[in-house]
Amino acid sequence: MRFLALLCCAAVATGCSKSEQPPAQDTTAVVTPPPPAPIALADVAGTWTVRSMAEGSDSVLVTTTMVATADTAGWSITFPGRAKPVPSRVVEVAGDSVTTETGPYESVLRKGVRVTTHSVMRLKDGKLIGTTVAHYSTTGADSVLRLHTEGTRVP
């Protein structure tokens, strides 16, 4: 009798156990896009019309003409109504970005106030896309202005 009870328990245990299934293969593999191609100054050499807009806005605050060269010398920005270009310094070329500093010079947005700008630009779909941070020579709370920029090559 004990043998029969043991045999029944074994049969129930075997019938109720789950068969081992191999884990399902993950078919949603994450494909990481390749990194953007490194930028060379020769890629952006030329004359550009650059529109600057306040961060979070599409309203153009100022349009400038930027001259870029195939090396770090000779970069400049010309503002509307000003004949003399303002020299820019290429401070870094890394990865897909060119970083420049311009100034100090008299601001076109704040009369009589000097400003220095720091810009990071990337070449995307034939346009220069980037950000600019303007540091004004004031002690007030509004001494920094963040802009986004878009440049198109002048033919």
**76-92: average pLDDT:** 95
Per-residue confidence (pLDDT) for residue 4, from 0 to 100: 46
Q: Over 60: is that where the pLDDT of 8 sits?
A: no
| Encoded tokens for 27 | 């078919």
Mean pLDDT of the chain: 87
Per-residue confidence (pLDDT) for residue 135, from 0 to 100: 95
| pLDDT over 90 percentage in the chain | 70
**62-82: average pLDDT:** 96
Domains and CATH numbers, the chain: 41-153 (2.40.128)
From CA 127, how far away is CA 75, in angstroms rounded? Answer: 17
**Of 60 and 26, the one with more pLDDT:** 60
pLDDT band at 100 (very low <50, low <70, confident <90, very high): very high
- In angstroms, the Cα distances linking 108 to 1, 2, 30, 49, 142 are 102, 100, 47, 16, 16
Overall pTM > 0.85 = no
| pLDDT over 70 percentage in the chain | 83
Report pLDDT digits (tens) over 12-59. Answer: 555 555 556 666 666 677 888 887 778 999 999 999 999 999 999 999
From CA 66, how far away is CA 78, in angstroms rounded? Answer: 6
Per-residue confidence (pLDDT) for residue 10, from 0 to 100: 53
The helix or strand, by DSSP H or E, that contains position 7, with its residue range, turns out to be: helix 2-16
